[in-house]
Amino acid sequence: MTESTKPYLIRAIHEWCVDQRFTPYIAAVVDGEARVPPGYARDGQIVLNVSTEATNGLQLGNDLVTFQARFAGKVQSISIPVRNILAIYARENGHGMAFEVEAPGLDAALDAETEVPVSGEPPEPEPDPSGGGKGGHLRIVK
């Protein structure tokens, strides 16, 4: 069985964002295996700032993305399966990469209104109050 390229592409886009001094964001599906703070997901998805300034102990693994971050002033542990990640992009300009949903059963849970756009604006970042970037340049990877 061939290993997925998805975790490698996520790490590459994250590194590119950091090198360019952009703020990397990930959009992910929240299901029973994703550990995120309650109340921050919208329409079964969450958008998170994964910059080194916003996270502690960030691990972009082959199976899981894990880190700690503050939500409403309280430190929370975040764990998101790589298969649930829909996109990684730079907040400042929307450049990044979108991915197809890999988790079984999630395709049916997502409809056209909740999928990551491949043109236009990227999903609005949450919970960062500074707002999102303009222009979307995400490419779906199959």
pLDDT value at position 3?
79
Tokens of 58: 């960030």
* pLDDT attached to residue 142: 47
Give, in words, the CATH class of 6-141: mainly beta
Q: In this predicted model, what pLDDT tens digit does every residue of 52-69 receive, in sequence order?
A: 999 999 999 999 999 999
pLDDT in tens, 26-43: 999 999 999 999 999 999
Which residues, in sequence order, are bridge partners of residue 21? none
48 vs 126 pLDDT, higher one: 48
pLDDT at site 133: 41
pLDDT band at 102 (very low <50, low <70, confident <90, very high): low
C-alpha distances out from residue 51 to 84, 85, 101, 120, 134, Å: 19, 16, 23, 23, 18
Structure confidence at residue 56 (pLDDT) = 96
Sheet with 64-71, edge to edge strand ranges? 56-60, 64-71, 74-81
